[in-house]
C-alpha cells in the first residue's frame, strides 16, 4: 500500500478539501443542534463517505446507512440481553457476519455494521441500549445526509490530466 501518490487525479484538490471541511463542520453543528450526545459521529461519518462524485458518495452512503441500522439494531439487542459481555459481543460479530453473507452484503457493509455494533456494545454508557443505538443511527444518518447534500450542491470538477492533448 502506498501512502503517497504521484498520480495527479488521485490527489485531493483544494476544492475537495474545502468541501469536505465544510461538510464535516456542518454535520457536527447540525447534530449538536438536534442535541445528539455524540455529535462527532456525524462529522466522522461525513469524512468517511465524502467522495468526489455524487455517484460514489451515494453508493457508499446507502451501504453505510443500512449497515449502521443493522449494527445498531443488533447492538441494542445484544446489550439489552447480555450487557458488556465480551463473549456475547464476539458471538454477535460472528452472527452479523453470517447475516452479511446470507444477505450478500459487501465486506465494507459488514465492517460498518460491525463498527456500529462495537460502538453500541463496548463503550460504557448509562443510557439504555436502545437509546444509544438510536442516537448512533441518527448521528450517522446526519453525517450521511450532509455529505450527500454537499456533494450534490457543490460539485467538484474532474481533475485535468496533465500532458493531455487539447482539441
Structural domain boundaries enclosing 55: 14-153
Residue 78 inside a domain? The answer is yes
Q: What whole-number distance in Å separates Cα of residue 153 and Cα of residue 148?
A: 9
What percent of the chain shows pLDDT beyond 90? 59
Give me the pLDDT at residue 59, please. 82
Query: Residue 163: its pLDDT value, please?
Result: 54
- 14-23, 76-85, 91-100, 157-166: which has the minimum mean pLDDT? 157-166
> In three state form, how does the secondary structure of 130-161 look?
HHHHHHHHHHHHHHHHHHHHHHHHCCCCCCCC
Predicted confidence at residue 98, as pLDDT, reads 94
* Global pTM value: 0.82
Within-domain flag for 148: yes
What's the total number of domains in the chain? 1
In a domain, 118, yes or no: yes
The reply to whether 66 falls in a domain is yes
Cα–Cα distance, 158 to 143 (Å, whole number)? 24
pLDDT tens digits for range 125-154: 899 999 999 999 999 999 999 999 999 998
Of the candidate ranges 8-12, 95-99, 112-116, 162-166, the one whose mean pLDDT is the lowest:
162-166
- Alpha-carbon distance of 104 to 129, in angstroms, equals 27
Q: Does 62 fall in a domain?
A: yes
Answer yes or no: is 128 within a domain: yes
| Predicted confidence (pLDDT) at residue 160 exceeds the cutoff of 70 | no
Would residue 3 count as lying in a domain?
Answer: no
pLDDT digits (tens, 9 = 90+) for 65-78: 999 999 999 999 99
pLDDT tens-place string over residues 29-65 = 999 999 999 999 999 999 988 877 788 888 888 888 9
143 lies in some domain: yes
The rounded percent of the chain whose pLDDT value lies above 70 is 86
For residue 96, the Cα-to-chain-centroid distance in whole angstroms is 17
Amino acid at each position: 500500500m502506498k501512502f503517497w501518490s504521484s498520480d495527479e487525479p488521485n490527489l485531493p484538490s483544494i476544492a475537495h478539501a474545502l468541501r469536505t471541511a465544510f461538510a464535516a463542520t456542518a454535520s457536527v453543528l447540525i447534530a449538536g443542534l438536534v442535541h445528539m450526545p455524540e455529535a462527532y459521529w456525524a462529522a466522522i461519518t461525513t469524512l468517511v463517505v465524502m467522495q468526489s462524485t455524487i455517484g460514489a458518495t451515494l453508493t457508499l452512503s446507502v451501504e453505510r446507512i443500512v449497515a449502521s441500522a443493522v449494527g445498531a439494531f443488533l447492538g441494542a439487542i445484544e446489550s439489552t440481553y447480555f450487557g458488556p459481555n465480551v463473549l456475547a459481543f464476539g458471538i454477535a460479530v460472528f452472527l452479523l457476519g453470517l447475516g452479511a453473507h446470507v444477505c450478500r452484503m459487501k465486506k465494507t457493509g459488514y465492517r460498518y455494521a460491525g463498527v456500529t455494533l462495537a460502538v453500541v456494545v463496548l463503550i460504557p454508557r448509562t443510557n439504555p441500549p436502545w437509546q444509544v443505538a438510536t442516537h448512533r443511527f441518527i448521528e450517522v444518518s446526519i453525517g450521511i445526509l450532509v455529505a450527500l447534500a454537499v456533494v450534490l450542491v457543490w460539485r467538484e470538477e474532474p481533475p485535468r490530466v496533465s500532458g493531455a492533448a487539447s482539441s
